[in-house]
Structure 1
Amino acid sequence: MKRGRLRLAIRKEFFPQRVVRHWNRLPREAVDAPSLEVSKARLDEAWSNLV
């Protein structure tokens, strides 16, 4: 029974940790956008400036 709980606990933590790690790397302009469309446009603009 403990073995199953451990696996469930790992599964609950694994996805959020991966998402948060990538989310923290995004430019602030894209994160603070009011909508998804604006966020995508700002993210594309920020990445195009890097190249």
Structure 2
Amino acid sequence: MDIQRNKGTASVEQLVLLFAVVLGAASLLVALGPTLEGRHQTLMLLLSLPFP
């Protein structure tokens, strides 16, 4: 029940986790290079992640 109730509000842990995911995705993008294929794979990977 707590998860259902707190779903609307973002906790500090969720913000930190989201920041880490964005940071990781950005570094992954840089690592893969500016190729269209690499960016597409990164986007697909991000979309497959379960967001809180």
The interval holding the TM-score normalised by the smaller chain is 0.3 to 0.5
The structure that is helix-richer by fraction is 1
**Largest Rg, 1 or 2:** 1
Calculate the TM-score normalised by the size of structure 1: 0.40
Q: Between the two structures, name the one with larger relative contact order (CA 8 Å, sep ≥ 6).
A: 2
